[in-house]
């Protein structure tokens, strides 16, 4: 059985935000054609994360649960498993872990097993080279903000970028699936219309 790894990344925003007006974009979410066989996923969070971080991650899953689609995230507790998508292998479990991957521009990343067009597993790793916070610590990344984006990848929504080179989310900076985040940003905590349309398009309403 061949397992394909589909890599999705969230990059650090390094430059000033570029605004675009009047761009002709008709679809603000991106689908991959790959999906879970059912309409739920059970997942665990590494037990080394502080309780406040685990709570923020569950708040992130609640946003998707309330998006109007049939899909549900089911948090089932902590685990000592620590998936590292920067050096990845599948194990049949969907978990959130951490790793110090250095200053590589990737705040967090999601990978998983796919058989044919069916998702079998999703894992997210926070790159703890960068600071994460649940209380707005200056210069750190908001856990709920980042994980809400990564959960979109669990559903197999793709990063949204715009046509302005290199690739800015100029038309959808508020969108959860915008591929760029900046420290202390919380725009991605709340789903926008294009995010909701994306999950509904994949899993039905
Ligand atoms: Zn992404």
Q: Where are the alpha helices (DSSP H) in 66-192?
A: 143-154
129 located within any domain: yes
Scan for tokens 């008709």, then name that residue: 26
CA of 174 to the centre of ligand 1 (A): 14
pTM of the model: 0.85
| pLDDT, position 99 | 97
Whether 153 contacts 43, CB under 8 Å: no
CA of 153 to the centre of ligand 1 (A): 7
Task: Supply the CATH number for residue 156's domain.
Answer: 3.40.390.10
Domain enclosing residue 143, as ranges: 4-14+23-199
CA of 180 to the centre of ligand 1 (A): 8
132 located within any domain: yes
Measured CA to CA, the distance from residue 191 to residue 147 in angstroms comes to 12
Structural domains of the chain, count: 1
CA of 19 to the centre of ligand 1 (A): 20
pLDDT in tens, the chain (205 residues): 333 333 344 444 332 222 333 333 334 577 788 999 999 999 999 999 999 999 999 999 999 999 999 999 999 999 999 999 999 899 999 999 999 999 998 999 999 999 999 999 999 999 999 999 999 999 999 999 999 999 999 998 888 765 443 344 655 567 888 888 889 999 999 998 888 998 999 999 9
32 located within any domain: yes
205 located within any domain: no
Q: Which residues surround the ion ligand 1 when the cut-off is CB under 5 Å?
A: 8, 10, 159
76 located within any domain: yes
CA of 29 to the centre of ligand 1 (A): 12
Measured CA to CA, the distance from residue 85 to residue 7 in angstroms comes to 9
CA of 175 to the centre of ligand 1 (A): 11
110 located within any domain: yes
CA of 177 to the centre of ligand 1 (A): 6
CA of 78 to the centre of ligand 1 (A): 24
CA of 10 to the centre of ligand 1 (A): 4
Nearest by Cα to 6 from 201, 175, 157: 157
194 located within any domain: yes
204 located within any domain: no
């Amino acid at each position: 059985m061949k397992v394909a790894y589909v890599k999705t990344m969230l990059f650090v925003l390094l430059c000033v935000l570029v605004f675009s007006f009047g761009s002709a974009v008709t679809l603000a979410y991106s689908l991959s054609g790959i999906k879970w066989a059912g309409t739920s996923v059970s997942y665990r969070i590494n037990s080394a994360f502080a309780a406040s971080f685990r709570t923020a991650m569950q708040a992130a899953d609640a946003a998707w649960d309330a998006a109007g689609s049939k899909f549900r995230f089911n948090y089932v507790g902590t685990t000592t498993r620590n998936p590292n998508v920067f050096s990845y292998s599948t194990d049949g479990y969907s978990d959130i872990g951490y790793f110090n991957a250095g200053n590589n521009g990737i705040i967090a990343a999601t990978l998983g097993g796919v058989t044919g067009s069916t998702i079998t597993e999703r894992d997210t790793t926070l790159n703890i080279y960068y600071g994460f916070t649940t209380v707005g610590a200056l210069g750190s990344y908001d856990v709920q903000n980042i994980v809400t984006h990564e959960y979109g990848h669990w559903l197999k929504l793709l990063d949204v970028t715009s046509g302005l080179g290199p690739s800015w989310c100029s038309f959808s900076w508020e969108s959860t699936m915008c591929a760029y985040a900046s420290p202390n940003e919380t725009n991605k905590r709340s789903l926008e219309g294009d995010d909701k349309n994306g999950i509904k398009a994949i899993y039905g309403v």
